[in-house]
Amino acid sequence: MITTADMEAWLQRAADVLEENKGYLTELDAAIGDADHGVNIARGFAAVVQKLAAQPGQPLGPMFKSAGMTLMSTVGGASGMLYGNFFLKAANVAGDRQALTPAELLAVLEAGRDGIVQRGRAEPGDKTMIDAWTPAVDALKEALAAGQPLPAALCATAAAAEAGMRATIPMQARKGRASYLGERSIGHQDPGATSTYLILRALADALADEDAKQA
Amino acid sequence: MIGLVIVSHSAQLAEGVRELVEQVVQGGAAIAVAGGTDIPDAPIGTDPAKVAAAIESLLIRPEVSDVLVLMDLGSAIMSAEAAFDLLPEAMRSRVHLCEAPLVEGALAAAVRAKIGGSLAEVYAEARDALAPKIEQLASWQHLLPAAVPLAEAAPEQADRESVELTIVVPNQLGLHARPAARLVTLVAQYDARVTLTHDGRTVPATSLNRLVTLGVRQHDVLVVRASGPDASAVIEAIEALALDNFGDPIEVTEPTEIIAAAVSEEGDVVVGAPASEGVAVGPAFHLRAPAIELEEGVVADTAAERQRLREAVAAVMEQLRTLRAETTRRVGAAEAGIFDAQMLMIGDRDLLDAAEEAIELRRLDAASAWNLALRAVVARYRALDDPYLARRAEDVLDAGQRVLRHLAGVPADALLFDPPEPAILVATDLRPSDVARLPAGRVLGIITAEGGVTGHGAILARSLGIPAVTGVGAVALTIADGQIVGLDGGAGHVWLAPDAQTIEQLRQRRERWLTERSESRKRAQAPARLRSGETIEVAANINLPGELETALLNGAEGVGLFRTEFLYFEREAPPSEEEQLEIYRDAARRLDGRPLVIRTLDVGGDKPLPYLRQPHEPNPFLGQRGLRYCLDHPGLFRPQMRAILRAAADYPVRVMFPMVSRWEELVMVDALIDEICAELQAEGLPFDEDLQRGVMIETPSAVLIADHLARLVDFFSIGTNDLAQYIMAADRDNAAVANLVSAYQPAVLRAIRETVEAGRAAGIKVSLCGEMAGDPKATALLIGLGIDALSMSPAAIPLVKERIRRLDMAEAKRIAALTLEMSSAEEIEAYLSDVEQTELAAKRMESEP
Ligand SMILES: Nc1ncnc2c1ncn2[C@@H]1O[C@H](COP(=O)(O)OP(=O)(O)O)[C@@H](O)[C@H]1O
Ligand SMILES: [Mg+2]
């Protein structure tokens, strides 16, 4: 079972990783956007962690909801609205659960991904974070269906996100600020897809750690 | 007034737009801004919470009806959408995101909003705000690279081949739903692309919703453009239709809604039809289709979801088609027209396209997508200036919600009245089935938008003793749930927003009414004996078993007319023998030894049953009705007769046959009953072999051969409603002659006299069960004519009993004799009113010695 502590660990780790990679993400955004993605997202996740520390012991639904609302009001850019809706939709699925089965975790991530689509209306190939989310969720589904244990399945998830992130390089942006650049957006990696990869990597690491602890 | 919210990444830009706007409208705008973020090191950005707060700050202002949200770009759009999700459900329908350019749009919208523009106008103004700029800068276009204007060239070329027609709309009420529907239907028959342009807005002529929401009024100019193979032909056809006043009569009487809206409104009192006496005050609560909880879901298989939606729309189209057919048969083609319009409204490609787009693009589930598209259309209708057209919003909504219900698997005609506390029921109109399901104890009073004093709603309210005002018009539908309202069903008054003092007065009046009623009910328990000693039996007419209780409370000595149609209507198959037996037994049990006269099924072409294939009759009132129909359909009739015979084994149950005009019909019934008795005997089921039978005297023929009929039955029951109609050869549903249909016509009174004499001669009881029986003005006359028993609406019983007790037989005979001398219904009614007034005055004198 994946517990609230696991999810808190995930968000904590995501905040750390995004803080570490803040410069890198901002650099990516400088190429095809407005050079704020790293700063935005690191600030947002830091705020999320702070908020969580103030309200310990919540069930998963309220916890995700608070994360979503916080991201929406502290990130400032498009990604705040998108990751914000990710967590709001995830919260609907999680409800008042205190723990998730791997299948429920998949459902949570899938609902979150759909939330991003609902808000941003991007399709795969538009050079956005969706290009990382979609293959990642698919990979998790496949791995679980194949009976893989959760840590391995989440590794596959992160790997798929990474591949999706790399695949954005040759794409031409059709959504978001980068789309204003038209053809000139080709040849650059999408910052949002990159942060998505980092967040999913953090998930795999957080749960691998937990697993190690239990073992 | 329409409020504006400005959303921008930059707080300064948002403030700047506000500054510009306020300078132009000088404080005449409701405007709020949501610019930038509250994040110190990243002030440029947008915050949905801020946007939501700005929207709410306007919506709570009483003068703001709707809010238009304008935004800059990118994540500002997402923020606005996210803000929409954050708003309370109830507010959302008043919030509209607008794609207009921020600065130009805000200025144009604010100017329009300041002069009281409707939502549609403000919205259109904002969207078109770039037009003046484009025009002014057109001269600079030659400096642009050629590629840009080329994109525009294609449609222009198509336009060159198009045919154009300019119409000055002749219709008195403008291009409202009916003429617009005719136009849409016409255009659909041609292979052509047709658009209509009105006041700068162009819409496809295939969309009824778009067409009606153009808000075209009489004398407005409409430009029709057609292209494609049939372009000329369709233009010709449209021209012909326009010359024909779009199929409307030249002089139209205003649609009922407008009449209703014009009823005198004195302060907050609205006047409707006084449908059922009594005073009520309390929270209002609407009778409504069960609300559909929409759970916004994201779907994976959008194609399947679109299919699901299409199937639901198709199913609802079918429902509407059936409703139209039924209404045409029962009421008339004009009343059924609404369903035609509703079919066009929800069958509108435009609406379906918008919903399917929401499924495709936003991956919404069918119901949420449909709801979204529907709300947008409804908002467009609501925003129209013309109150008649704006009312059409309810029609779209009503039809559209059928789709939602279908998607949710809720039965098409389920209606619910489920207030948290006893409440005043508000409805458009009441159907018998609605009333049958009402929790009577929770209904303090009834207010309906439509219907008169003779509608189902009114009749049933009276029989249940619930105060009711009907036909108050569209205002009824604007009453909010929980709002305290008052009504006086005797006067037809409704207080929409009574102040504390009025509420208190109404409470006191209600108390008084209830006390008086319970006193008169108490008195009504005693038999109705004339001063001279004779007793008149007073019984109740019952439409639905639910009325039995009121009938007994009011002093009914039995049921003189138990209508059985309720058993057969609004269902898929006829009721079984067992089901009927149960209901008859139950009614008889509740009557506790008092007689129950069951009338066999009285249907015909005017009251068709869905599961019977009844041929269309050009003149249903003169067609196969009542007993005629039953004798011809033993499959339907036998179970009912068997159930009645069996119920009569244990209880004082009698049977009565409607619409008899020949002696042979009763002979045939007798034979059938004999047959059934033999059957029941063989089956070993108990039954009453001496079942008392009666015949309704309601055709002139029955009156004239009453002596023959009397030999075959145990009693007569005169049905004055139909009798008057047939004697006067006038249809009571035809407004032009309805006034002829009065039981006070000398011919009808003579028919009653003849019937009584025939009954007397044969030694059988003669009762009367038409509306006349419940009219205290007729009591003396009827008793003077020799009627033995009266059966009436339960509500009328106490008064009629009191009237009887004050009568003397000799006096009644004198009144009857005098009445029969008179040559017109007018004279008769005037005389009887006089008699009643004198009577009342005498009674008052007595009680105030
Ligand atoms: N419509 C969209 N759908 C999905 N992702 C989007 C969309 N618009 C932008 N993004 C993602 O957001 C990232 C940019 O985030 P950020 O820099 O925070 O926002 P902004 O563009 O407002 O500055 C992009 O790299 C892209 O992955
Ligand atoms: Mg950016």
Judged by average pLDDT, the poorest of A64-68, A135-139, B71-75, B565-569 is B565-569
The Cα B228–Cα B194 span in angstroms is: 9
A114 touches chain B (CB under 8 A): yes
Whether residue B346 has pLDDT greater than 70: yes
Nearest residue on chain B to A36, alpha-carbon basis:
B42
Closest-CA distance of chain A to residue B366, Å: 14
Catalytic residue numbers of B read: 456, 769
The Cα A195–Cα A42 span in angstroms is: 10
Closest-CA distance of chain B to residue A115, Å: 8
Is beta strand B163-168 parallel, antiparallel or unpaired with respect to B221-227? antiparallel
Is beta strand B484-488 parallel, antiparallel or unpaired with respect to B279-286? antiparallel
Give the number of the ligand closest to the Cα of residue B77. Answer: 1
The Cα B164–Cα B589 span in angstroms is: 74
Determine, for residues A36 and B42 on separate chains, whether the beta-carbon distance falls below 8 Å.
yes
Of A206, A192, A208, the closest CA to residue A41 belongs to A192
Q: pLDDT at position B422, please?
A: 92
Q: Which residues contact B567 (CB under 8 A, 6 or more apart)?
A: B575, B579, B580, B583, B601
Q: Does the model's ipTM exceed the 0.95 cut?
A: no
Distance between Cα A194 and ligand 1 center (Å): 11
8 Å CB contact between A100 and A108:
yes
Q: What is the average per-residue pLDDT within B804-810? A: 95
Q: pLDDT at position B324, please?
A: 80
Q: pLDDT at position B327, please?
A: 63
Which secondary structure element, helix H or strand E, spans residue A164, and what is its range?
helix A150-167
The Cα B652–Cα B655 span in angstroms is: 10
Which of the pair, B802 or B138, is modelled with greater confidence?
B802
Strand runs (DSSP E) across B383-440, as ranges? 423-427
Judged by average pLDDT, the poorest of A9-23, B311-325, B714-728 is B311-325
The Cα B144–Cα B246 span in angstroms is: 46
Residue A98 binned pLDDT confidence (cut-offs 50, 70, 90): very high
Of B680, B695, B682, the closest CA to residue B649 belongs to B680
The Cα B316–Cα B322 span in angstroms is: 10
According to the CATH classification, is domain B144-148+157-252 in 3.30.1340.10?
A: yes
Whether residue B329 has pLDDT greater than 70: no
8 Å CB contact between A84 and B82:
yes
Nearest residue on chain B to A41, alpha-carbon basis:
B42
Q: What is the average per-residue pLDDT within B46-51? A: 92
Q: pLDDT at position A156, please?
A: 96
Task: State chain A's mean pLDDT as an integer.
Answer: 93
Secondary structure (3-state) at B656: strand
Whether residue B260 has pLDDT greater than 50: no
Residue B157 binned pLDDT confidence (cut-offs 50, 70, 90): very low
Q: What is the average per-residue pLDDT within B207-230? A: 86
Residue B757 binned pLDDT confidence (cut-offs 50, 70, 90): very high
Q: pLDDT at position B360, please?
A: 84
Q: What is the average per-residue pLDDT within B750-775? A: 96
Which of the pair, B461 or B345, is modelled with greater confidence?
B345
Determine, for residues A43 and B364 on separate chains, whether the beta-carbon distance falls below 8 Å.
no
Of B517, B506, B443, B412, the closest CA to residue B286 belongs to B443
Residue B643 CB-density burial (10 A; 0-12 exposed, 13-18 middle, 19+ buried): buried
Which neighbouring-strand residues pair with B446? B425, B468
> Is the overall model pTM greater than 0.80, yes or no?
no
The Cα B420–Cα B790 span in angstroms is: 40
Determine, for residues B42 and A43 on separate chains, whether the beta-carbon distance falls below 8 Å.
yes
Nearest residue on chain A to B298, alpha-carbon basis:
A114
Q: pLDDT at position B155, please?
A: 43
Whether residue B593 has pLDDT greater than 80: yes
Q: pLDDT at position B142, please?
A: 55
Closest-CA distance of chain B to residue A120, Å: 7
Distance between Cα A191 and ligand 1 center (Å): 8
8 Å CB contact between B257 and B450:
no
User: Domain spanning B530-656+665-696+769-847 has what CATH number?
Assistant: 3.20.20.60
Q: How many CB atoms lie within 10 A of CB B327?
A: 17
The Cα B269–Cα B274 span in angstroms is: 14
Nearest-atom number in ligand 1 for the CA of A192 is 27
According to the CATH classification, is domain B2-133 in 1.20.1250.20?
A: no
Determine, for residues A69 and B78 on separate chains, whether the beta-carbon distance falls below 8 Å.
no
A68 touches chain B (CB under 8 A): no
A75 touches chain B (CB under 8 A): yes
Q: What is the average per-residue pLDDT within B469-485? A: 86
Whether residue B172 has pLDDT greater than 80: no
Within chain B, what is the greatest distance between any pair of CA atoms? 109
Q: Which residues does B contribute to its contact with A (CB < 8 Å)?
A: 37-39, 41-42, 44-50, 74-75, 78-79, 81-82, 85, 298, 361-364
pLDDT tens digits along B12-36: 999 999 999 988 888 778 999 999 9
Which neighbouring-strand residues pair with B222? B167
Distance between Cα A16 and ligand 2 center (Å): 20
Q: pLDDT at position A86, please?
A: 97
Q: What angle do CA A68, A72, A74 make, to 5 degrees?
A: 115
Q: pLDDT at position B150, please?
A: 35
Q: pLDDT at position A213, please?
A: 52
pLDDT tens digits along B360-395: 878 889 999 999 899 888 888 888 877 777 778 878
Residue B123 binned pLDDT confidence (cut-offs 50, 70, 90): confident
Give the number of the ligand closest to the Cα of residue A86. Answer: 1
Q: pLDDT at position B152, please?
A: 37
Q: What is the average per-residue pLDDT within A167-188? A: 91
Architecture of the CATH domain B302-407: Orthogonal Bundle (1.10)
DSSP string, A1-35: -EEHHHHHHHHHHHHHHHHHTHHHHHHHHHHHS-S
Which of the pair, A21 or B619, is modelled with greater confidence?
A21
Q: Which of B176-185, B727-736, B739-748 has the largest mean confidence?
A: B739-748
pLDDT tens digits along B88-122: 888 888 899 999 999 999 988 988 888 888 888 88
Secondary structure (3-state) at B768: strand
Q: pLDDT at position B263, please?
A: 38
Note which residues in 158-177 of chain A have CB less than 8 A from chain B. 176-177
The Cα B574–Cα B565 span in angstroms is: 10
Q: What class, spelled out in words, does domain B260-288+415-519 have in CATH?
A: alpha beta
| Contacting residues of A for B39, CB less than 8 Å apart | 43, 74, 76
| Per-residue DSSP letter, B62 | T
Judged by average pLDDT, the poorest of A148-152, B65-69, B202-206 is B202-206
Q: pLDDT at position B759, please?
A: 97
For residues B272-301, one letter each, b for 16 or more C-beta atoms within 10 angstroms of the residue's C-beta and e for the rest, the string is bbbbbbbbbbbbbbbbebeebebebebbee
The Cα B696–Cα B605 span in angstroms is: 19
Token pair for B17: 């737009």
Closest-CA distance of chain B to residue A214, Å: 36
CATH of A2-214, one of 3.40.1370.10, 1.25.40.340, 3.40.50.10610, 2.60.40.10: 1.25.40.340
- What percentage of chain A carries pLDDT values higher than 70? 97
Task: State chain B's mean pLDDT as an integer.
Answer: 86
Q: pLDDT at position B714, please?
A: 97
Residue B833 CB-density burial (10 A; 0-12 exposed, 13-18 middle, 19+ buried): exposed
Residue B827 CB-density burial (10 A; 0-12 exposed, 13-18 middle, 19+ buried): middle
Q: What is the average per-residue pLDDT within A111-126? A: 93
- What percentage of chain B carries pLDDT values higher than 70? 91
- Structural domain boundaries of chain B? 2-133, 144-148+157-252, 260-288+415-519, 302-407, 530-656+665-696+769-847
The Cα B275–Cα B541 span in angstroms is: 17
Strand order in the sheet with B221-227: B163-168, B221-227, B193-198, B201-204
Determine, for residues B78 and A75 on separate chains, whether the beta-carbon distance falls below 8 Å.
no
Where does ligand 1 bind, in terms of residues with CB under 6 Å?
A: A 29, 33-34, 36-37, 40, 77-79, 82, 116, 120, 122, 128-130, 175-177, 190-193; B 74-75
Tell me the CA end-to-end span of chain B in Å, nearest whole number: 62
Whether residue B507 has pLDDT greater than 50: yes
Length in residues, chain B: 849
Whether residue B396 has pLDDT greater than 80: yes
Residue B158 binned pLDDT confidence (cut-offs 50, 70, 90): very low
The Cα B369–Cα B306 span in angstroms is: 10
Q: pLDDT at position B261, please?
A: 34
Whether residue B266 has pLDDT greater than 50: no
**Which residue has the CA at smallest separation from atom 5 of ligand 1?**
A128
Is beta strand B31-35 parallel, antiparallel or unpaired with respect to B765-768? unpaired
- What percentage of chain B carries pLDDT values higher than 90? 49
Whether residue A8 has pLDDT greater than 80: yes
| Contacting residues of B for A43, CB less than 8 Å apart | 39, 41-42
Q: pLDDT at position A133, please?
A: 98
